[in-house]
Structure 1
């Protein structure tokens, strides 16, 4: 596999002088979104940061997730990212609104932070005829009820059933997601969701890890049920956002360069990240705290 083009020499100073779009996730899942973003917007400079040392975020409290997310966002700001995408459903659910409302206006008025939940909520109603939607995610995302609130803003007539899938992320991160051993847990959570509402005709995969399970999920789902991932949705939303905000878009360097950082072990990140990104990755270790 061909390695991704990286900014490897004095990355902190280069990034400060060449502003980039920041992409954050608690670990690896955001790489599925990042891959789609680069595919649609290859001309920009990017920094990806995975907080692998403190992952997973899913079972932490709101306060802890907010603090972790804010530290990582501010680190990306310091590297020269005026725009940061939270490519993580848990961070989007539990930290995004507080950062947008309580931090940016007072501390970073010229910076923006976007998430993955709203772009999905804005269009999900177009994929259902029965007006019955299922949402599958981590415990943290499901318990936050963020999808319930956001989808009801845009499609108030839709009924939503939710299902947490606590075993899916560990299966994926241990590269067992396509093994026969994963079949039980994929079938278990899908059937539990459908048992809550037999009229569901659209399911949102509300975790950026879950696209890797699509082949197995599709084996179980009736063919008439739409399966909605977030990667292309978020990428398309970013395309429109940059078109509508030229004052921000003009700040981003257009050299087509990408740098990867992790708070965890570099070798572990490089080994696992390629599962999500589809290409070899060479990351730099950095700490936002």
Structure 2
């Protein structure tokens, strides 16, 4: 039998730490290995081919560390790279390993929260351009209309810890106004970028009272727990000593400082090159 290893969790930078936080809360006994490709972030404005290549580099790195299961805790990577990696690369690269994303778990259940059958998606330009959310939601909830709004300023605002200044509130109001102009019966809004939960309080200030605001972390964590129950052969390959390790492709000092805000506690990372 192959040696058990941590579950790999990948993001272009810090945002995936909000997903990892929920994974650890849901599955505290499991080992997790996090990699942030901060040196090449952001992914949201890059081409499909570039995001695919960067994400494949990271997946190969996780496999080289012994990981059998990798979670792309990044909406842009999930939207632009996951399908190609699953269909074209895994069969020859590592047919016994698995790569999962954050879009499918959200789209499988989001319709359960809506009474009007109108849903709003707040995301990066790359995720919106991929059209992944409307495509996936239609598979599970064909009666639902999906409206998307790209919020290109939100990630740099969050990474620079500028969530409470006047300019930030301007961009939040502007993006939400655009979204609700597209669909005035929206009753569920999904934060389809793992950075956005850090700005949840500010976003809620400008949302209509009846609108439900969903983050992905808890949804993805429940989905992974269910996946491991349904796939005991993969669960056996996941090491369970409760150990967490963090890696970044950029400066560890910056990652540790900013990353702690996303993860909710202090962390110490190591540098790697992809």
Match of 2:22 among 27, 36, 45: 36
Give the aligned CA root-mean-square deviation in angstroms. 1.0
- What is the match of residue 233 of structure 2? 247
Deviation string for 1:248-274 (max 9, x for gaps)? 101111110010000011111011101
Name the CA distance, whole Å, in 2 between partners of 1:147 and 1:79. Answer: 31
The 3-state SS of whatever aligns with 2:19 is helix
Match of 2:216 among 230, 248, 259: 230
Determine if contact 2:3/2:237 at 8 Å carries over to the other structure.
no
Q: Post-superposition shift, 1:181?
A: 3.4
- What is the match of residue 100 of structure 1? 86
1:51 correspondence with 2:40: no
1:217 correspondence with 2:182: no
Match of 1:131 among 91, 97, 117: 117
1:83 correspondence with 2:58: no
Structure 1 stretches of at least 4 aligned residues deviating more than 6 Å after TM superposition:
none
Name the CA distance, whole Å, in 2 between partners of 1:282 and 1:178. Answer: 27
Q: Report the number of matched residues.
A: 273
Deviation string for 1:130-186 (max 9, x for gaps)? 000111100000000000100000000101111000000000000111334311111
1:26 correspondence with 2:26: no
Name the CA distance, whole Å, in 1 between partners of 2:198 and 2:183. Answer: 25
Write the mapping of 1:171-190 to structure 2, written as runs, cut at 5 A.
171-190=157-176
- What is the match of residue 57 of structure 2? 71
1:207 correspondence with 2:193: yes
1:158 correspondence with 2:158: no
Name the CA distance, whole Å, in 2 between partners of 1:147 and 1:123. Answer: 12
1:109 correspondence with 2:78: no
1:119 correspondence with 2:100: no
Name the CA distance, whole Å, in 1 between partners of 2:191 and 2:87. Answer: 27
Determine if contact 2:4/2:236 at 8 Å carries over to the other structure.
no
- What is the match of residue 195 of structure 1? 181
Q: Post-superposition shift, 1:122?
A: 0.2
- What is the match of residue 62 of structure 1? 48
Determine if contact 2:69/2:99 at 8 Å carries over to the other structure.
yes
Name the CA distance, whole Å, in 1 between partners of 2:259 and 2:111. Answer: 32
Name the CA distance, whole Å, in 2 between partners of 1:40 and 1:197. Answer: 34
Deviation string for 1:39-65 (max 9, x for gaps)? 010101110000000000011110000
Name the CA distance, whole Å, in 2 between partners of 1:42 and 1:71. Answer: 28
Runs of at least 5 residues in structure 2 that lack an aligned partner in the other structure:
none
Match of 1:274 among 241, 260, 265: 260
Deviation string for 1:183-210 (max 9, x for gaps)? 1111110111011111111111110000
